[in-house]
Amino acid sequence: MNSEIAAPSRTPPDLLTRAVAGFLVLILVDAAQLLAFYPDRTDTLWAWTIQPPLTAMLLGSVYLAGAYFFARVLFGAPWERVAAGFPAIALFVWMAAIATALHLDRFHEDSLPFAAWAALYITTPLLVPYLYLRNRRRLIAGTPLPRTLRVVLLVAGAAIVSLSLVLYVVPDVAIDNWAWTLTPLTARITATVLADVPTPDVIRHHLPQPDVVGPDEAHETMPMGGRQVRVVDVVDVNSPDEVGPPELYAWLHYDPVPTRDDLAKALVAYFTGHLGISTTMRAHEGIGTAQAHLTVSTAPMTLSVSFHEPVRWDGWILYTHESTQVGAGMSYVRGAVHTEEGELIASFAQDALIRPLRTTDTAIKEQSRL
């Protein structure tokens, strides 16, 4: 296993997210052209009458930017390039929905534009966060932004968000001091526009997936209902004759894969202790886990697992094992779990006992020996 920073992922958002993005592009382009070309006709073409027309054009520019963003999602931009936009859009739609509820009396409630507005801002406050969480496991960022630029962006973002909060909570302040005329509703919508600031990670990297053959070329072992295990470059992980580097790679396929995060984590953790001792023994000719409890005493002593993202996957996952030390009767193995797409979902470490079996222990039944 190496520790280099992974190259940026090219994995696009999933098909559901791209389909929703395509639908939103149509809505946003239509809204943008209405507000840009007919800002003085919002009394009949929009969900509420926007005055002055400049405010309508400002909102139209935001919808146009949103259409561009979702077009990138639709056409398969890497998730890491679009992920930061989703929290900002979630904030935008929530603030717009709350503003709608606070000023419902200003809307043309019996009109088709209001029905479209209401449908959009009832569904998207939940839909946008759902799509973000659904794809979050795909995020693999590369080189972070320079520190100076991060500080500048942080200060600018904090200032804009602070201004938007003032406009949203105390709209009368904006009405008295803004560059053009605002009403309480348009002040809150303007605040919503200003608050639409992406919040990317400060830094992010992960251990890249090892370059090994896929499950179709690996050797099947450890049969069990609902689970397939295929090991790379090894036929029998227990054999004392299988000698190689102190590394083992195992592809696993579970059926079904739990949809609940806690159950998925439990399933991933379940296999992290299976091959640690075999990994250590592989580097030493004449010893293997087939001898465990017969001529050698073995037992896992500690096992720790760290989960790095919400645990979701489809298909196969790869368990990587590397024994970094063995001696004084103890071995240490570290490992990682990657999806087929290369996302790191968990890391683990195991301490294990490997000691000679005392001759007096042979009187104990094999299944009871350590």
Beta bridge partners of 304: 349
Determine the residue type at 36: A
Does residue 346 carry a pLDDT above 80?
Answer: yes
- pLDDT bracket for residue 25 (50, 70, 90): very high
The predicted pLDDT at position 4 comes to 41
The predicted pLDDT at position 3 comes to 41
- pLDDT bracket for residue 2 (50, 70, 90): very low
Under DSSP, the state recorded for 292 is B
> Looking at residues 35-56, what average pLDDT do you find?
86
Does residue 195 carry a pLDDT above 70?
Answer: no
Beta bridge partners of 173: none
SS3 content of the chain, % helix, strand, coil (to 5): 45, 20, 35
First to last CA, the chain: 30
Q: Which of 101-105, 124-128, 180-184 has the lowest mean pLDDT?
A: 180-184
Does residue 199 carry a pLDDT above 60?
Answer: no
Does residue 238 carry a pLDDT above 50?
Answer: yes
Cα–Cα distance measured from residue 268 to residue 249, given in angstroms and rounded to the nearest whole number: 15
Does residue 348 carry a pLDDT above 50?
Answer: yes
- Supply 3's token pair: 């520790």
- Supply 331's token pair: 């071995």
Torsion angles phi and psi, residue 67, rounded to 5: -65, -40
Q: Which of 16-30, 53-67, 322-336 has the lowest mean pLDDT?
A: 53-67
> Looking at residues 44-67, what average pLDDT do you find?
86
Short-list 274, 232, 270, CA closest to 251: 232
Looking at domain 215-368, which CATH architecture does it have?
Roll (3.10)
Q: What percentage of the chain exceeds 90 in pLDDT?
A: 33
- For the chain, where are the E strands, in sequence order? 219-224, 227-231, 247-254, 296-307, 316-327, 330-339, 344-356
Short-list 367, 307, 368, 317, CA closest to 340: 317
Cα–Cα distance measured from residue 194 to residue 350, given in angstroms and rounded to the nearest whole number: 49
What is the rounded average pLDDT for all residues in the chain? 83
Q: Coil, helix or strand for 203? A: coil
The predicted pLDDT at position 158 comes to 78
The predicted pLDDT at position 202 comes to 66
Q: Which of 6-15, 146-155, 216-225, 306-315 has the lowest mean pLDDT?
A: 6-15
Report how far apart, in Å, the C-alpha atoms of 301 and of each of 149, 331, 362, 366 are: 47, 10, 22, 19
78 compared with 209, residue with greater pLDDT: 209
What are the residue ranges spanned by the domains of the chain?
Answer: 15-194, 215-368
> Looking at residues 2-20, what average pLDDT do you find?
68
118-124: long-range contacts at Cβ-Cβ below 8 A with a sequence spacing of 24 or more? 118/47, 120/27, 120/93, 121/93, 121/96, 121/97, 122/97, 124/93, 124/97
The predicted pLDDT at position 72 comes to 92
> Looking at residues 30-36, what average pLDDT do you find?
90
Does residue 362 carry a pLDDT above 90?
Answer: no
- pLDDT bracket for residue 87 (50, 70, 90): confident
The predicted pLDDT at position 5 comes to 40
Q: Coil, helix or strand for 352? A: strand
Cα–Cα distance measured from residue 257 to residue 280, given in angstroms and rounded to the nearest whole number: 30
Torsion angles phi and psi, residue 348, rounded to 5: -150, 165
The predicted pLDDT at position 145 comes to 65
* pTM, entire model: 0.49
CB neighbour list of residue 47: distance below 8 Å, 6 or more residues apart: 107, 108, 111, 113, 114, 116, 117, 118
- Supply 112's token pair: 């088709």
Q: Which of 12-21, 148-157, 180-189, 194-203 has the lowest mean pLDDT?
A: 194-203
